[in-house]
Chains A and B, each alone.
Chain A
Amino acid sequence: MVSATTSRPVSKTRARDRAAPPTLERPGVAWAIPGLLFFLVFAVAPMVGVLYLSFTHWDGLSTPRFTGTENWSRFFSDSQVGQSTLVTGILLVGNIAVQAPISILLGVWSAGHQRNRAVLSAVFFLPLLLSTAATAVMWRQLLDPNFGIPSTFGRLFGGTTDPLGTQQGAIACLVLVTSWQFIPFHSLLYQGAARAIPHTLYQAAAIDGAGRVRQFFHITLPQLRNTIITSTTFMVVGGLTAFDIVLLLTNGGPGTDTSILPFSMYQTAFRTYDYGYASAIAAFLLLLATCASVLLTKLSGYDKMTSTLEGL
């Protein structure tokens, strides 16, 4: 990374002096340097910082004191960490399991050019206009045990008037509210991708006598492969950072039942001012996210740097 910042811009003006054939000057590394530096300072350096801080004791005021692996041995024996990881995982899987199928179906459906589909799609987009904070505040009120929807339509919620009152209920609410907010975004991705599928594929399938369902599984789904990976990446990253929704909807509760990793990291750092231990949790989060990212970029083939048009 450092070598990139020290190498000078490559200039190839000589090529122009010779008569023919004209070759275009290629942009040098210099073009990437401002963006790279910015990214290094505000994203990469903090990653290194988190690793360092996870080996220290720091209250945020004095200088961090090196304590070796103290935070980490505490981390691995902390039962709250185990629970937080488990809940984070459950939320992640739950979110993907609910959002992916609905988004794909909705996206493919709204890719059709019928008038009613266009009108409904415009309505389906609306949750995207609300920020996550706004969505969470809204649902917190709508799920209120005394005045909210459950008090009127209790049967929809399995007879309970306080769906946020139990761990299962709170987790289900987090999944449902997240899905309510983000399915419109993911279905939009699928809508765009479904429209890009060449029509001739369907015509050929229709001639072969394939019905709607077969066409969906044998043409649509395989053609959506890249979008499925992209959309899942967004879901995974979003799931690992789903902090605002937890803070505003359940506040980690009941008790610490929905205290997912980013939330318990926030509490440890900015509520109890134990930045060293919080950094250990953060480093763990970072590790999970990096694994997920490497896996997904390998699957998607993004790293091969080929034109997205070549597949067509």
Chain B
Amino acid sequence: MRTRPNYAAGAAAFVWLLIIGIPLYALVNTAVQPQTTYTDKGPVSLPSAVTADNFRTVLDSGFPQYIWNTLVVAASTVAIVLALAIPVSYAVVRGRGWITKGVFRLFLLGLAIPSQAVIIPLFLIVNNLGFYDTLWGIVLPTAAFALPVSVLVLSGGMRDISSELYEAMALDGASPARTLVKLVVPMSRSAIATTSVFTALQAWNGFLFPLIMTQSEDTKLVTLGLYNFVSEYGANVPALLAAVLMSALPILVVYLFARRALVAGLMGAGGK
């Protein structure tokens, strides 16, 4: 629509490209260098000797297991959040009375509960439920703290379903359960996608819960594996940065094959 290109904005975007690009270049470049080259030339150099040794070091140190654990945690968290947040949002949007309003307000308030602030009692609860050092110990609290945003996003999406469609369901004599399955869920697909993407990334990013709730090798997540990797291989910077790259591999795959869905999903978190 616009007639002349915005050169100032283009220049600024180029500067931003450098800010994003140089560190990422340094990351990839260092990860494929032998350590001797790194200590000689630093992270921002032209690659002279390329090696896959660093990735081998990372693979041998248990990373595949950590990545698998993280995938399990992310998938379980998303499943629990959807199973709980969809009915809650449905009740909030379609229900009547002060109780459903109160439920919504409670979740809104929960939007700003920092998980850090309640980690001590949470640790106690997880311990008493017998979930310490299990993946459940990470999944359950992560899901609980993903609920407020999910309820907000889902109820936002459900509110946009027109009342004519509900009336049509009424003509069919549909029960609330049938209305949910046949109308509400299909019509709020994009909100469900947003919730899933956002929750999965939360689980993926989680650091505090794995740090506090687990201790053994079998239950270690990628983020924690990276943290331990620092103390173990601190001096071997190329291996460390190879580990950083490996930790991003699964999302990178998602990004390459489903970029639109991922981007659209995250965008939805902002509402309108």
Contacts and interface: CB of A to CB of B under 8 A. Distances in A.
Contacts of A189: 266-267, 269-270
A128 B124 CA distance: 32
Interface in B77-99: 80, 83-85, 87-88, 90-92, 94-97, 99
Contact of B118 (A36, A50, A240, A297): A50
Interface of B: 1, 5-6, 9-10, 12-13, 16-17, 19-24, 26-27, 30, 38-39, 42-44, 80, 83-85, 87-88, 90-92, 94-97, 99-122, 124-125, 140-141, 143-145, 147-148, 151-152, 155-156, 159-160, 166-167, 169-171, 173-176, 179-180, 201, 204-205, 207-208, 212, 222-224, 226-227, 229-230, 237, 240-241, 243-244, 247-248, 251-252, 255, 259, 263, 266-272
A72 interface: no
Contacts of A282: 116-120
A248 B211 CA distance: 13
A87 B12 CA distance: 30
SS class of chain A's interface: helix, strand, loop or mixed? helix
Contacts of B243: 137
B270 A141 contact: no
B116 A42 contact: no
Contacts of B148: 39
A62 interface: no
A72 B209 CA distance: 26
Contact of B169 (A24, A240, A262, A270): A24
Contacts of A137: 226-227, 229-230, 240-241, 243-244
Nearest to A49: B121
Interface residues of A, number: 120
A130 B27 CA distance: 11
7 contacts: A32-B92, A131-B223, A147-B43, A152-B43, A244-B208, A290-B109, A303-B105
Contact of B20 (A34, A124, A269): A124
| Across the A-B interface, the 6 shortest Cβ-Cβ residue pairs | A49-B121, A293-B112, A189-B270, A42-B144, A192-B267, A46-B118
